[in-house]
Structure 1
Amino acid sequence: MDPINEAHVNEPGLVVVDVAAAHDATALAFQQLLADRWATATAERTTHDVGQPGVRLRCY
């Protein structure tokens, strides 16, 4: 997994959230929580990197 870098945003704009989870259900449930609160482009499925544990999901 790539390192997480903090950033301060001075004005509104696009935010990208990368989710790493143990399985699909957890990643998709987290995405739904975001979508219920903010305008979020939801993904239909997660991705899995061969040789890495868990799944990944990107929300915009």
Structure 2
Amino acid sequence: MGTAVVGTVMEPIDAQHISEPCLVVLDITAADETTALAAMAALELHWATSGVGPVRREPGAAGVKARIYADTRRRPCASA
């Protein structure tokens, strides 16, 4: 795919993202962008999430990284 952002460090987790039970922040590390994007898309099928986000590649680190925010109490919204 070749669309990973290179050298970008993930922001620290803000307390509001985990301010109550069932809110989670998931950091994903995968071998490649395709796998990371597929994992985020699969999570969207089960929970209300922040959506498929950017994939990052850190120089010197193996694989790629991504972050997704989810509310495990909620199912995804139905498409119109």
Q: Shorter-chain TM-score category?
A: 0.7 to 0.9
Is 1:34 equivalent to 2:21 in the alignment? Answer: no
- Deviation (angstroms), 1:21: 0.2
Runs of 4+ in 1 over 2 A off after TM superposition: none
Structure number with the higher strand fraction is 2
The code of the aligned residue for 1:42 comes to G
Give identity over the alignment, percent.
Answer: 42
- Deviation (angstroms), 1:56: 0.2
Q: TM-score when scaled to structure 2?
A: 0.57
Report the count of equivalent residues. 50
| Structure 1 residues without counterparts, runs of 5 or longer | 1-10
Counterpart of 1:18 in structure 2 is 27
RMSD: 1.5
> Which structure has the greater CA radius of gyration?
2
Q: TM-score when scaled to structure 1?
A: 0.73
SS in 2 for 1:57: strand
- Deviation (angstroms), 1:47: 0.4
- Deviation (angstroms), 1:45: 2.2
SS in 1 for 2:23: coil
